[in-house]
Chain A
């Protein structure tokens, strides 16, 4: 019964979305206030219905209702409750339902909180949001019904992919989707603005909190996914440049660019058509991600069940939404009048460079991700593009970005004072060079790129701290005065400092764990000793343990340093009989200085197994935890900025474009 209710309310949600996709926008062009207002009710109604459907599916998973095909395929009665709940979004259908729920939630969010947005803009935006809803709800209902029954019902389910039975990954899709799909509302705002033919600082101010909210969750989602890959896959890597990783990373890169260009539109009324384009492209890349993950277009370690039929449907959706919006852009963007003017050395110019680099980086990732497909289509050759390409192309761009990232906040709007700038950053530059040289002296043996990256990270960190210190006049005035100044600074400013510092911390973690990683892979019988990064590790043997829905071989590794016991690690190799698959559970000794990472693999051959020998993988990854700490700083910085008074209190009156005689910005 409950699944049928779920199915039924989805159909109702589709009906509401259909109404919302026509009525408010028609009202906006006719000036009919009632029609426009209807969007409010339909948007909130939509999210309620989709939430009921989602709850219905979750209920089926919680009670293990094996009459529902989706539950049979992705759950098992013995699975821990947490993963039964997480199983709701573990499949193609369930995750698509989550996708739509978030889409509807963002629409309802604008309907609910957007009292400061003019009625017409709001009506158009919500209509555009409803177009997306219609597309995806019909996709779900027509091709991927999550509530499909199965007859006769089997006694038990097939279990969720054991790799996914993990706390980090249970939370990864909701966060990632919140980010991915959150950009939909920004897209809707952009399309609405194009339809209206007007973009101004007020528009940028309405868009910014939504962009920021999406960006924050996308950051958290990507970091969580990376963390999961780090400890669950058993390789000790945190980023693999896998197509599916890339498709989540591209919206992040472009979303970051959007976040910054929206500031310029908001503060200086410039970069207008560029901001609009970024808003469209960011969501387009999110859609592209959805398409690639669900169509089997590229090879990846974590794609959903491949179905060309579904792929075709999503491609159709893509063609309409991306093609339509970009065509609209091509038609309307040239008519937008350029605003705010600036000098080559100014905050605007700094942000322009930031945007260009981020866009180029996105293009690089896009190219690397799709190159195998394009090459195959053109020449028939099959290749895969791996980390060497991305590292060679991407890292130098990021280093250039970091240089400007440190510099940017020092620049003032319109026209920056070069002499004063040099004066303020000289000290920082010297400090960064000293730090890099010190690293070179102390940590010989790393690749040259690593030292350059250290230079970049140190520069960014010091420059960010210096800029913050300048703002609150630290050490120039009494401390109490500095604290007072810090309090009075807008939260967005602290947010920026924190986020930029987070990037520097993140970089340090990436550099340490990739350039100075040590790794030992040994084929070990009990009693084997391994020495790595100053630790002496003794393999004491493996025992079999029984989990709720798995059997595990648990290795015991005693870690000593200079003869003294540090810790005992228990990496596991788990076998899930129902799903017939295995996972590695690495055991990690984490400190700020670095992670001692161990995992164990069962030897494939039985005769070796009898001898009690195992493959051990032991890594030492210096500073790797800084990656997660840096990500957390990014998220906190974003949240701080989101809580800024400016974004909470009513939007300002529409600003008049400032008159000036300098060169146009666009």
Chain B
């Protein structure tokens, strides 16, 4: 509901809108006066102080004054605009110092617009409001009081002159209602225009909305990408370093076994050998959880097949993903399938499981369905919750349909491109 819609309504005159319009116009008088005094005062002060540099520095603070005016005005506009005006300012990046926050706000275009609005308010809007609303309120109050005034004094209202209380009452009855009607509509239009001006200058521009959204998405993607890069780096480090050394160690121990005669020494070497192999197996499992090498080398299908092959239950795999996808997407999909299969093996009491994947209009879709007992939930402390966040950053979704009694069906969707 805006004042424009209210003006068209037949109930306008008996609604709260005429009074809101008065209130909005009248409050703009002190607000505008204060704004212009502050702005002009600051400008004068900085002009005076400009020889000692501080005056010039003060000029840079003007957009911040604008931002403050904007903040107050957006709230005041709530009288006329039911939804208020949304802030055009970008969300402050986390971890900034107070100084950096102020610099950030100062440089925003929205702050400059608010400053401009402050001048418009101080120079044009409030005198206009004062003129119309002030005059109208005066006439209205005088009309209401006319029986009393005319009783004791001669009272002239435009072309009419009233001498008695009866004449005053007649004037009130005849002139009052038509005047209220005309002035309410007139002030409604003026207040509506002022509120629209405030919204146009203080509200977020379309591109600001989109920019904020895009920035947010970009930064989340960057984060996911950074994690992915880091995982690959760790994996490479473990693979090329520790893992090779462990393989080398098992070789040496294997050789030593050949040379040693039967006895305690040989028994210990054999033990050391099997311990080194256990360490190697552990390391391999850990690396797989970080970022499996087969995913980097051979892509999603080969990596998922490897996971499926390790499952204790038969897994049917039908993946038709024609090309390699960007790393973070492949990794997210891999870990979703991997986690889903692990859950099936652990909780579902299923006898078979089916993984199906395809690309539909540039979106990767993967479903994992079992024939188990169901009752699975996304939030219930599963490893899938973290993956939902990860997918979300990529613009993807994860849904689990698992009625009690089964079966469980998990479906993930994700765009095939990063940051479109």
A and B from one assembly?
no
Question: What residues of chain B have their CB less than 8 Å away from a CB belonging to chain A?
Answer: none
